[in-house]
């Protein structure tokens, strides 16, 4: 289904220029030919999100982009085309459009994620969406390619696409910010160096969100080291509730579920109540004490305590590394799926009795975990984008000692980025290199 019905052009084609603008550079232009003439009339946001229009109602053609590099680009290619609608034609069942900003949009994870977002798989088949895509200077050409593929996919729910390299432009009015883009660790780079280089990206993006995003934007930080990047981001966005920031640990939860299902010989939908505690690193703690299989405590189903204590955790932690050995690159598709899971866990009510893991700000946590860090913990949601921490969890010495190690690591990471969180001079005394293999 197309988003609009078009008037066939009598002339050959209408050439458009897609322009990109950022504060530092940057004017890149490209020509895209359209074999059809389209009608344009500036519309309010609500009328833009509505359904198709017949050719009878089409207005005079125009182009929604600018040749002036000093003016920001409003839209990409076919998404510049808007059309008038009669009130009675508006699709009453569609919700108000939401704006989703994605950084690292030309990267591998985003290449899977964006098409899921545009299809309705994430926010629902009645939820029109505007995508704002942030790339780096080096990836701008690739970003344009991504936008072209989105155009060619003809997703009915995808109403707007913008691309750019300035977070102050791309995060404008964002209701969701999926922060995937980060620098990979270069040869010989210390972990402290990676914390600093990526921390600067997230400090800048936090400031940009603070300045231009929706006041209730939900932020999911994927770029590593994601817990501390999320902390940096929220510290630089004081006007956005700290509770709205998440670090992605859902891939780790999914991996833990898969390993428990495999060991118990059940399908993975029988595994519930799995928590990943702590950092998205090899100090993460997949919790088999509170997890359930077929509604029973895991320890009643898997009686092999040695496996649980010695093999399970390591298997979950090293899964990414094993995958790299097979694939020759880090997980992208399953990471994108886990981002979808993380969002859906916040926009749909959590099934009765279950919970999900996400890295969130620790202030006010009921477990006794140090405050003022971003730590993965068990959460429930009513489906309104918000969440509550789960209180009814138990701890034993094994679990608690491991949680403390991950906490120590995150406190050390926090000291290492003090210059980026407004807390003085950084002191880097990281306990060891616990970066997940390939997810650096
Ligand atoms: N939390 C998790 O579970 C998890 C899992 C897998 C990967 N990751 C992390 O996700 C990140 C992205 O992974 P990928 O496989 O998509 O990498 P990728 O290298 O394919 O893509 C990253 C993209 O980000 C862009 N980028 C770099 N700096 C940017 C900036 N300042 N603003 C906007 N874009 C920028 C790059 O140009 C590149 O296109 C990495 O940091 C990786 O370690 C996290």
Mean pLDDT, range 79-85, rounded to an integer: 66
132 CB less than 6 Å from ligand 1? no
Active site residue 419: no
DSSP calls for 316-381: HHHHHHHHHHHHSS---HHHHHHHHHHHHHHHSPPPTT--EEEEEE-TT-TT-PPSSSEEEEEEE-
Please state the rounded mean pLDDT for residues 293-298. 98
Catalytic residue among 112, 246, 280, 419: 280
Residues in the chain: 440
Share above pLDDT 70 across residues of the chain, in percent, rounded to a whole number: 78
Residue 249 CA, closest ligand 1 atom number? 3
Average pLDDT over residues 166-192: 90
Cα(304) to ligand 1 centroid in Å equals 38
Question: Closest Cα partner for 232 from 276, 163, 179?
Answer: 179
Out of 139, 181, 248, 280, give the residue to mutate to test ligand 1, the one with the largest number of ligand atoms within 8 Å of its CB. 181
The whole-number pLDDT of residue 360 equals: 98
* pLDDT exceeds cutoff 80 at 42: no
Q: What is the 3-state secondary structure (H, E, C) of 244-293?
A: HEEECCHHHHHHHHHHHHHHHCCCHHHEECCEEEECCCCCCEEECCCCEE
Given a cut of 70, whether residue 17 has pLDDT beyond it is: no
DSSP 311: I
User: Distance between CA 79 and CA 81 in Å, rounded?
Assistant: 5
Beta bridge partners of 8: 36
Substitution candidate for ligand 1 out of 105, 169, 182 with most atoms within 8 A of CB: 182
Q: Does 164 sit in the ligand 1 pocket, CB within 6 Å?
A: no
Q: What mean pLDDT comes out for the span 28-55? A: 26
Whether 410 has a pLDDT exceeding 90, the answer reads: yes
pLDDT, mean over the chain: 82
pLDDT band per the 50, 70, 90 thresholds, residue 73: low
Yes or no: say if 138 and 106 are a contact pair by the CB < 8 Å rule.
Answer: no
Q: What is the pLDDT of residues 154-169, one digit of tens each?
A: 999 999 999 999 999 9
Closest CA to 81 of 58, 63, 97: 63
Tell me which of 137, 180, 220, 339 to substitute to probe ligand 1's pocket, judged by most ligand atoms within 8 Å of the beta carbon: 180
Q: What is the pLDDT of residues 218-270, one digit of tens each?
A: 999 999 999 999 999 999 999 999 999 999 999 999 999 999 999 999 999 99
Query: Which pLDDT does position 35 carry in this prediction?
Result: 24
Distance 439 CA to ligand 1 centre (A): 9
> Which pLDDT band holds residue 26 (cuts at 50, 70, 90)?
very low
Lowest-confidence segment of 92-106, 186-200, 266-280, 356-370 by average pLDDT: 186-200
- Whether the predicted pLDDT of 84 surpasses 70: no
Mean pLDDT for 314-320 is: 90
Residue of the nearest CA to atom 35 in ligand 1? 181
pLDDT at 44 over 60: no
Q: What is the pLDDT of residue 76?
A: 82
Give the mean model confidence (pLDDT) for residues 307-326: 90
């Amino acid at each position: 289904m197309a988003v609009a019905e078009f008037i066939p052009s009598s002339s050959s084609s209408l050439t458009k220029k897609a322009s990109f603008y950022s504060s530092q550079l940057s004017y890149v232009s490209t020509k895209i030919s359209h074999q059809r003439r389209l009608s344009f009339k500036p519309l309010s946001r609500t009328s833009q999100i509505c359904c198709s229009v017949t050719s009878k109602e089409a207005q005079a053609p125009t182009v929604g982009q600018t040749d002036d590099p000093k003016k920001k680009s409003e839209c990409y290619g076919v998404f510049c085309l808007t059309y008038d609608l009669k009130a009675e034609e508006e699709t009453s069942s569609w919700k108000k459009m939401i704006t989703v900003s994605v950084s690292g949009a030309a990267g591998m994870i985003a290449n899977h994620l964006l098409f899921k977002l545009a299809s309705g798989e994430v926010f629902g088949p009645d939820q029109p969406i505007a995508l704002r895509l942030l790339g780096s200077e080096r990836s701008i050409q690739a970003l344009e390619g991504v936008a072209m593929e989105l155009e060619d996919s003809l997703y009915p729910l995808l109403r707007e696409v913008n691309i750019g390299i300035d977070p102050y432009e791309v995060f404008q009015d964002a209701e969701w910010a999926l922060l995937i883009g980060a620098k990979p660790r270069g040869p010989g780079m210390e972990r402290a160096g990676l914390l600093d280089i990526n921390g600067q990206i997230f400090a800048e993006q936090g400031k940009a969100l603070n300045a231009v995003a929706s006041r209730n934007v939900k932020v999911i930080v994927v770029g590593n080291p994601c817990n501390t990047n999320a902390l940096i981001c929220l510290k630089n966005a004081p006007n956005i509730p700290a509770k709205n920031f998440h670090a992605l640990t859902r891939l780790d939860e999914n991996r833990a579920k898969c390993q428990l299902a495999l060991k118990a010989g059940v399908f993975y939908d029988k595994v519930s109540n799995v928590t990943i505690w702590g950092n998205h690193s090899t100090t993460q703690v997949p919790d088999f004490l509170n997890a359930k299989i077929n509604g029973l405590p895991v320890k009643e189903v898997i009686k092999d305590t040695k496996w649980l204590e010695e093999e399970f955790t390591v298997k979950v932690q090293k899964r990414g590394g094993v995958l790299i050995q097979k694939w020759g690159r880090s997980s992208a598709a399953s990471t994108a799926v886990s981002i979808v899971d993380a969002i859906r866990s916040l926009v749909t009510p959590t099934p009765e009795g279950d919970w999900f893991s996400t890295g969130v700000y620790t202030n006010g946590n009921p477990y006794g975990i140090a405050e003022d860090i971003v730590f993965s913990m068990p959460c429930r949601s009513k489906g309104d984008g918000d969440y509550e921490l789960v209180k009814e969890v138990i701890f034993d010495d094994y679990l608690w000692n491991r949680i403390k190690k991950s906490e120590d690591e995150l406190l050390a990471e926090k000291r290492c980025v003090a210059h980026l969180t407004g807390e003085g001079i950084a002191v880097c005394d990281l306990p060891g290199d616990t970066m997940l293999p390939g997810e650096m």
